[in-house]
């Protein structure tokens, strides 16, 4: 990218040449015409190269997105294979009650993933569905609570989606790297016209003061999110008033 800006600077510096011609031969129609053609050619070259750069960057972004989703799909396929193996083991052992319990567990997981996909904010949906594909010592468990059946939660505010992503990223950053089992439960609850978002963390934080500082900074950036209760890692409750 730096090379492109340097090349572009030198390209437009050549416009000094027709400017000097105009100074040396002022009012000369042929010189003026050549100067106009020179600048027009510079503009055309600049536009064409810029379009090429944009296409290359777009193609690179698309390739990166495709690779990310391939990784996500591989993780989901791996999880489904594990679920099938567990079910097959219960069936072989004749443990019908355990089969029913495990199928119910799979059903809950499927409903949660379906609810995540209905959140509508693309970046947030992509991040939540792909959370397991990112290197992390935290296991994320997502659940939804509704006041009415067949209700769904929608997040159309991009800033709110970014806030949730940033909070999850802060948990991942400051979570203890020890071998202990660390679980982060993220719950979306729709109550009247408000959205309540709860983060319940079972684990330890490496630097709680820095964690609080980062969280407070993110909350200050989003005026629609209000914290309920104390700011502590094990339980963070937010109320969103405009959803």
Q: pTM score, two decimals?
A: 0.69
Domain boundaries, the chain: 29-59, 81-117, 118-243
Question: How does pLDDT run across 174-201, given as a tens digit for each residue?
Answer: 887 766 678 999 999 987 778 899 999 9
Question: How does pLDDT run across 203-225, given as a tens digit for each residue?
Answer: 888 888 999 999 999 988 877 78
Question: How does pLDDT run across 144-181, given as a tens digit for each residue?
Answer: 988 776 678 888 788 899 999 999 999 988 887 766 67
3-state helix/strand/coil string of the chain: CHHHHHHHHHHHHCCHHHHHHHHHCCCCHHHHHHHHHHHHHHHHHHHHHHHHHHHHHHHHHHHHHHHHHHHHHHHHHHHHHHHHHHHHHHHHHCCHHHHHHHHHHHHHHHHHHHHHHCCCCHHHHHHHHCHHHCCCCEEEEEEEECCCCCCCCCCCCHHHHHHHHHHHHHHHHHECCCCCCEEEEEEEEEECCEEEEEEEEECCECCHHHHHHHHHHHHHHCCCEEEEEEEECCEEEEEECCC
More confident: 189 or 63: 189
Q: Is the CATH number 3.30.565.10 carried by domain 118-243?
A: yes
């Amino acid at each position: 990218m730096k090379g492109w800006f340097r090349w572009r600077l030198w390209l437009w510096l050549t416009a000094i040449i027709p400017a000097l011609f105009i100074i040396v031969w002022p009012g000369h129609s042929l010189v003026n015409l050549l100067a106009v053609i020179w600048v027009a050619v510079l503009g055309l070259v600049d536009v064409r190269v810029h379009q090429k750069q944009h296409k290359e960057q777009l193609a690179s972004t698309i390739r990166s997105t495709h690779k990310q989703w391939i990784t996500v799909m591989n993780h989901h396929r791996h999880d489904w294979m594990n679920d099938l193996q567990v079910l097959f083991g219960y069936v072989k052992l004749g443990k019908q009650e355990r089969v029913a319990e495990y199928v119910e567990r799979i059903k809950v997981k499927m409903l949660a993933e379906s609810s995540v996909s209905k959140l509508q904010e693309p970046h947030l949906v992509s991040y939540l569905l792909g959370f397991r594909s990112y290197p992390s010592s935290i296991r994320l468990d997502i659940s939804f609570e509704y006041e009415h059946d067949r209700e769904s939660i929608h997040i159309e505010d991009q800033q709110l989606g970014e806030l949730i992503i940033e909070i999850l990223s802060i948990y991942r950053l400051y979570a203890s790297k020890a071998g202990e089992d660390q679980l982060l439960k993220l719950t979306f609850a729709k109550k009247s016209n408000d959205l309540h978002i709860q983060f319940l963390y079972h684990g330890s934080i490496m630097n709680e003061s820095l964690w609080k500082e980062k969280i407070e900074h993110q909350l200050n950036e989003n005026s629609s999110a209000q914290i309920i209760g104390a700011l502590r890692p094990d339980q963070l409750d937010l109320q969103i008033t405009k959803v």
